[in-house]
Amino acid sequence: MKKKIIEPKISDDGLIFFDSSGLNITVFNLTVDDFLNIHSNLTKKGYRPRLGNAKINITFELYCNELINLGFDISVLINELNNAHKGDYFTLSHGLSLTKICYHYVKNGNDVKILRTSRENKSADIKINNVLCELKVRHDKRDNSGTLHEHLISALENRAQTAFEHADCLFIDLSSHFHTWNYHRIKTYLNEKKIYNISNRPIDPVKDYCILFSPDNALDRNNPEFIPKAYWGYIKWDPILRKLG
């Protein structure tokens, strides 16, 4: 059964709802009218939300608005999210993560091209400076035992081999955890040489590298605008020896 298109609804207390999922837009330092104007502009460009996840839908629209302001053609991103809305939460979160990565690299002056993807035809998700990149989003499990390092090793063992079959570089989005949690946990591995670099600027994609990406949409009280933040690190992974390089 085809899923119906969802229009945002505004509650009496100012929450924006997509079906039963609501979000207070003021966490992004925006008004309801600000968001509705952005939403109207994106629907004119073809955006058709069909899953009621307010946080993902609203965040996606805000990132798209920033990309429009940067002069980037968002038509392929809209197509990706429209297709993701036909799936489930995991496909939707992947589309949002792809949009975030696109924004940060475009913002920093990189050449970015979103590649059309499908479950049937395995291909890279995005090309950055002519490097084919695959994106994997890490989702928390109920069992939170083990260190972050162990979780990353598990993720790489399960995903790196297939990812590098059709891409040169692998991104792993760590956004299932809080931004600060990711930062402090990953920072401990710098001294052990298990990861390289932690930067608040996007790291240039390099063949056979895995770039760790942790976005942060926390409100900056000192600035009245929506300014997405993120930090980046990278690790080397040997898919043959199945260990960090």
Instruction: Work out the pLDDT band at 140, boundaries 50, 70, 90.
Output: low
pLDDT of 125 above 80: yes
Please give the pLDDT value at position 223.
Answer: 58
Residue 24 and residue 15 in contact, taking contact as beta carbons nearer than 8 Å: yes
Please give the pLDDT value at position 142.
Answer: 45
Helix (H, G, I), strand (E, B) or coil at 52: coil
Residue 133 and residue 172 in contact, taking contact as beta carbons nearer than 8 Å: no
Instruction: Work out the pLDDT band at 210, boundaries 50, 70, 90.
Output: confident
pLDDT of 181 above 80: no
Query: What count of residues does the chain have?
Result: 245
* CB neighbours of residue 33 within 10 Å: 10
* CB neighbours of residue 191 within 10 Å: 7
Strand-pair partners of 173: 137, 213
Q: Which helix (H) or strand (E) holds 236?
A: strand 229-238
Residue 172 and residue 210 in contact, taking contact as beta carbons nearer than 8 Å: yes
pLDDT of 244 above 50: yes
Instruction: Work out the pLDDT band at 145, boundaries 50, 70, 90.
Output: low
pLDDT of 109 above 60: yes
Residue 126 and residue 98 in contact, taking contact as beta carbons nearer than 8 Å: yes
pLDDT, mean over the chain: 82
Residue 99 and residue 63 in contact, taking contact as beta carbons nearer than 8 Å: yes
Helix (H, G, I), strand (E, B) or coil at 121: coil
Instruction: Work out the pLDDT band at 5, boundaries 50, 70, 90.
Output: very high
55-86: string of b/e by CB count within 10 Å (b at 16+)?
Answer: ebbbbbbbbbbbbeeeebebebbbbbbbbbbe
pLDDT of 82 above 70: yes
Confidence (pTM)? 0.88
φ/ψ of 217, rounded to 5, equals -110, 25
Distance, in Å, from the CA atom of 92 to the CA atom of 114, rounded to the nearest integer, reads 16
